[in-house]
Structure 1
Amino acid sequence: MAEDLMHNALSKSRVFRFAPSPNGLLHLGHALSAILNHDLAAACGGRFLLRIEDIDPARSRPEFEAAIYRDLAWLGLNWEKPVRRQSEHLGFYAAALERLKAMGLLYPGFLSRGEVKAQVQAHEAIGGVWPRDPDGAPLYPKQERGLDRDEALAWISEGRQHAWRLDMDKALALAPASLGWSEAGAGPEGETGVVSARPERWGDVILSRPDAPVSYHLAVVLDDAEQGVTDVVRGQDLFHATSVHRLLQSLLGLPAPAYRHHGLVPGPDGRKLSKSNQDTGIAAYREKGLSPTGLRALLAGYGFVFH
């Protein structure tokens, strides 16, 4: 009896979440992540949370948020209330950002995308190889890391556009050499088990910019910790970003969830699904008369297994 009670207590302590952005309609890939999180939570007697990642005011729309609730309810998923909305916690994120600044880990980057592109093109024109992140984007130049503090503050006071970037070298110096995570799923190349984090592959990532007070990388680790999330189940497209998340968790003394990255649902052209492709939206399948059970069967046809 005592062992059963202990097992139940441990099971109920597991917390899963689905965290979409209201910048478009949910597609089949979102349905897969939502269902997996919901079913895994139910299977272990855990909790299933819904979080609205509306930190980008330029792209977030109330009609898309309403559609998220409608689509998930149609799928038969139940989530705890109230729902956490990132836009209601800007002070929470700002405090963490100030903490990282106080640690001397952030610097303002003033280069525009055009200026960075010009540097990359000039370097490659003479045969150089510019380092790129796992998504293929060129890394931000390091020249502003040592910018005079007073000069930088003067530029900011003058209204110059800037983004706060993480000095990756300084951050890595404070992180344990054994930084990694527990992977119950698999990465794009089959990585599983204990995975070593390689945040340096992302260079000096942005943690805050003028049009978004906090980046996805920082907000997601803060929210997961604040909500007690124990299991992060999401698509393989975020597998490499986990390295940055583990670094930020280490710097801020946040707990590390267990991770499980699942395969991606291919679009008609074989590439990753996009919210811009309405034909693969959950609403489109519903309007065609497909049932929630039928949608699960459709996903199962791609090889995904539900619990």
Structure 2
Amino acid sequence: MKSNLSFFLLALVALVTITSCQKERTAPTSLLEDQFKDMTRHGGISGNIKIQAPSDWTVDYVKLENESLILKDISDAEFRVINTDTVVAKNGWFRMAKSSHGDSLFIDLKENFENVPRILVIGLKANGKEEEMRITQHRGKSYKIIDKKISEIDSLRRIYVSSHQCKPQTFSNYTSIPQKFSDRNVFWDVQHSSIFKSEDYGAFLWMSERDSTLMMEDLIIDGTIVWTGRVSYRNGTSNTPYQRGAVIETQVNPNETITLNGEVKYVERTSHYVFTIQNEEAGNQFEITGTWKQTVPISSTLLRN
């Protein structure tokens, strides 16, 4: 009798132990470690976040909470991550994918260049369990260029002479003595132009309005620097007046009428550029690529008719 009772008690203990272990194995756990549930950053994020779930988990949605907006991908579908294919948001500022082993979520979140915080809410789902990850992203306090590569496309350099920005001026002298007239207005509208173009996210948003000019590569012709200086870094065209030098005065004799016109020699060049930018607060680095086209007036000739 005692032997049967002992066997029964041992069997009961074993059953309780097995049941307890099964409960421990199947008990629902958080999909995310606490450090990833609510993050605040002053820069971009790039890396893997461990997911504590079997590999069949998904990202069910991504929301911009501060804009009450469900995020869309580049195909205009709701942003969802189901497999290892990389999903990209419109404008390329955000990318996500499952790792090849399904144990982590790859996130590439570009800088927030707005003064208003960006609040991103990511909805995770696994075996009926749902959880949210929140990322509050602020603009970095300052950014700087730490590397700059500018490569001119030699085949696109062009040197030409034109009067298209010159303005003819007519002068009449109705007096009995010679008169002198300045040629200043002939070249008044002549401009140096600089055009930046880039399709990269945030290409022109990182720079402070207080310091929006960049030193670019010198323009060299036959070993001589014909232009050096800073240009405005902005999307599109910036113009600055042609620095011609001394004003020339032309003499008009009594009872004479003359017309002054001009020609300007221009150099046009196009370059690819790659800027490596650093968020000085967070230390993150990113690259901006684009094209820079410059038209430089390098000399002028006054024509008298």
Which TM bucket (shorter chain)?
under 0.3
Higher strand share: 2
| TM-score, normalised with respect to structure 2 | 0.24
Tell which structure's C-alpha radius of gyration is larger. 2
Higher helix share: 1
| TM-score, normalised with respect to structure 1 | 0.23
Structure number with the bigger relative contact order (C-alpha 8 A, sep ≥ 6) is 1
